[in-house]
Structure 1
Amino acid sequence: MAHLQLRKKKCILELVKLSIAFLCLSLSAFLNFFLLTIIHDIVPREPLPDLIFMLIPQQKWAWPVGDVLSTVNSVIGFAVVFLHKDRITILRRLFLLGSIMYGLRAVVMGVTFLPPSFHDRDQICLPQVNRTAMYGDEIMKRFLTYVVTLGLTSGQSKILCGDLMFSGHTIVLSIMYFTTLKYTPKGLFWLRYVVTPITFCGMLALVVSGGHYSIDVLIAYWLCSHVFWSYHQIFELPLQERKSQNLARMWWFWLVYWFEETVPPGALKNKWNWPFPGPLFMKELAKKCNKKLCQ
């Protein structure tokens, strides 16, 4: 009985941590949306030179392609997380990593304003407005639009411009890519050959479309790579060793330390299970998959 109560308390604590991590991600994302609604009216309109733009004419069709590839990468990544036996821990880590990256993005967006990278920006970007008595209403309208669409703009005739440094789409592509690499069972090694071209073609599409400068995408990928693998390296160590590591001096370490206190040291074993009581054939299928995929 005591064991069951302890397990129940642990489950509740893990769900609380997951909820707080999701709240952190939501706040970071909403801050990005809010900053964009203001930055749009501040940024200059003349685009900066970019090597890719010099070599390849901007292609409008590439922007929705980038959206689609980001979505496909996310579906694959979340499917891997959903089937993983430690799905709560991994999902919480994704929320925290997203919070860190979008928090960094908000800071960068708020201090340096890059002009839109579109050559035909007047046809793509919404017109800038003067700060009048009705400006607050305009900001709120823009903000709610981006919250409802989760920042996806491929279906809109004109969009807000200015959220360039660094690329939010690349954050999604990179984190989901690394998640698939990290948490896929050994037997599905071939999946990396699927997500790798999806990831990098998605990044290329963002630049070819003119939606981002090359540097926006490169910095986003490099930062995601650094934060993702540093996070896992430090929190896979035994609990008593984490505070003494050089990586413990990273600014985000203490922000996420509490979330990882109860996670056993070492890499999580990449085993699958079916998270629901039924149907039974799915539970049996997950067991059979484990035998084949984890060998």
Structure 2
Amino acid sequence: MAASELIRDEDEDVRIHMEADAVVAASPAAPPQPGRISNGNPVRPAPGGGGDEPDGSRRARLGGALQPNRLLRALSGGLRRRCEYVKIGAADERSERLPTEWWKTAVAFLYACFNLVFTTVVITVVHERVPDRSVSPPLPDKFFDYVERVPWAFTITEVNGLILVGLWTVQWLLLKHRSIIGRRCFFLIGTLYMYRCVTMYITTLPVPGKHMVCAPKLYNDSSGKIWRILRLISGGGLSLTGSHLMCGDFLYSGHTVMCTLSYLFIKEYSPRWMWWYHWFCWLLSASGVICILIGHEHYSIDVVVGYFVTTRLFWWYHTMANTPALRQAPNNYLSRTWWNPVFNFLERNVRTTVPITFSWPLPLPSSCRQRYRIVEGPRDE
């Protein structure tokens, strides 16, 4: 008897489900919600109900059976939308593509220091080959024909250069990605002064004016030359410090290189809305370069070549650095430069344009760090 009742109940459940499928297929309208009591649970029909229960009760029972399915679908859809919303931010992806790699910056710094020291050695060597003014007078220069020499003009050049270098140093220390930007700066400085060593050594120009005072030649005095090298390094090669008393380092102008390169880095790695800052630095750079010629400390060709080499090398390097797709392009003629392997070494892991973001270079106290985390924490959605 119990077995027959169990079989009859199972048949009844199967028939109810089949009828429910037919009702859903025939009528797209949502079934009415079953009655609920105070705890929110649906009202279940009394046991013992047969197949002759009314359609309203049957649909209420069908709605109670389908309710868990709708709840599961709603939960799964919500989770799916939530999974699509919670993603790794662009800042995190960009930070992964901009590794610090300070050891590469240290290598670039050593490269720049080596070429700066090597420049002083070449200046000392070239000084011994400068022709005497009584034998080789200054070369004719069109700028000198129209502009008389102003003695204090070259001092303005060195003061402007020191201001530009100081501004760029402070700005570089405040940049978030200072390691990447620093090795770019060090590499360009080292390469420009290496070029300068080549041009100074292969062609020695006579002094551009009779006002210049050159130190006596030492010829075979090796110890005296070493002391001159050390003095030139200690004074930064500036006339203000009295360390630059040698002649021959004319082609091309090192002061033009530093004034121009400092301005290019200042403008490249500062926000565009700081136009007043850009114009101020440009005035310092332009006036410094012009005062080199007004002081008759370099030929015009020295300044023109120095400006041309500095700007082109800076633009070539940053064109390749800011265009990752250009590095592997088969028709990229910039990759034929001799320094392309060095560029690939320095920029291999830099896969995007370096953003202009500032950060404090020194570690903050614990209380300040805690407040910074509270302010910079993620927003609650």
- TM-score, normalised via structure 2 length: 0.66
Q: For 1:77, give the aligned amino acid.
A: W
2:217 is the counterpart of 1:128: yes
Paired residue for 1:191?
Answer: 277
Alpha-carbon distance between aligned partners in 2 of 1:183 and 1:152, rounded to the nearest angstrom: 27
The one-letter code matched in structure 1 to 2:188 is L
Which amino acid letter does the alignment assign opposite residue 23 of structure 1?
A: L
Q: Deviations over 1:173-193 (max 9, x none)?
A: 111111011110133122111
CA contact (8 A) 2:231 2:243 kept: no
Amino acid at match of 1:116: V
Aligned match of 1:259: 346
Residue in structure 2 matched with residue 156 of structure 1 by the alignment: 242
Q: Distance in 2 between matches of 1:164 and 1:253?
A: 28
Counterpart residue type for residue 125 of structure 1: C
Verify the 8 A CA contact 1:238 1:264 in the aligned structure 2: yes
Cross-structure match for 1:56: 147
Aligned residues of 1:24 and 1:95 also touching (Cα < 8 A) = yes
Does 2:177 match 1:90? no
Q: Aligned partners of 2:327 and 2:156: how far apart in 1?
A: 44
Point out the more displaced range, 170-179 or 236-245: 236-245
Corresponding position of 1:292: none
State the distance in 1 between where 2:328 and 2:248 align.
Answer: 39
1:181 aligns with 2:272: no
**Secondary structure at the residue paired with 1:161?**
coil
Please state whether the residue corresponding to 1:119 is helix, strand or coil: coil
Which residue of structure 2 aligns with residue 112 of structure 1? Answer: 203
Cα distance per residue 1:59-100 (max 9 Å; x no partner):
221122111000111112222222111111111100000111
Deviation sequence 1:197-240 (CA, Å, 0-9, x none) = 11010001111112111111111111111000110101222268
Quote the sequence identity (%). 28
Against the structure 1 CA distance between its residues 140 and 39, is the aligned structure 2 distance closer, same or farther, given a 3 Å change threshold? same
Does 1:224 pair with 2:310?
Answer: yes
What 5-or-longer segments of structure 1 have no aligned partner?
Answer: 1-6, 289-295
Which of 288, 308, 312 is equivalent to 1:202? 288
Of 169, 172, 183, which residue of structure 2 is paired with 1:81?
172
Measure how far apart 1:158 and its partner are. 6.8
Structure 2: unaligned runs, 5 residues or longer? 1-95, 377-381
Q: Deviations over 1:109-161 (max 9, x none)?
A: 1100011113223xx211234x24xx111211111111111211223287101
Residues 239 and 261, structure 1, Cα contact 8 Å, conserved in 2: no
Instruction: Please name the residue that 2:334 is paired with.
Output: 247
Matched, 1:16 2:103: yes
Bigger shift: 267-276 or 195-204?
Answer: 267-276
Corresponding residue SS for 1:262: coil
Larger radius of gyration: 2
1:278 alignment partner, SS class: coil
CA–CA distance in structure 1, aligned partners of residues 234 and 179 of structure 2: 26
Does the CA-based 8 Å contact 1:39-1:113 persist in structure 2?
yes
Q: What stretches of structure 1 move > 4 A for 4+ residues in a row?
A: none
d(CA) in 1 for partners of 2:306, 2:350: 28
Match of 2:55 in 1: none
For 2:147 and 2:240, how far apart are their aligned partners in 1? 21
SS, match of residue 187 in structure 1: coil
- Judge conservation of contact 1:58–1:119 (CA < 8 Å) in 2: no
* Alpha-carbon RMSD: 2.2
- Structure 1, 251-260 or 106-115: larger mean CA deviation: 251-260
**One-letter amino acid of the counterpart of residue 216, structure 2:** P
Of the candidates 15, 25, 41, which is equivalent to residue 112 of structure 2? 25
Which residue matches 1:293?
Answer: none
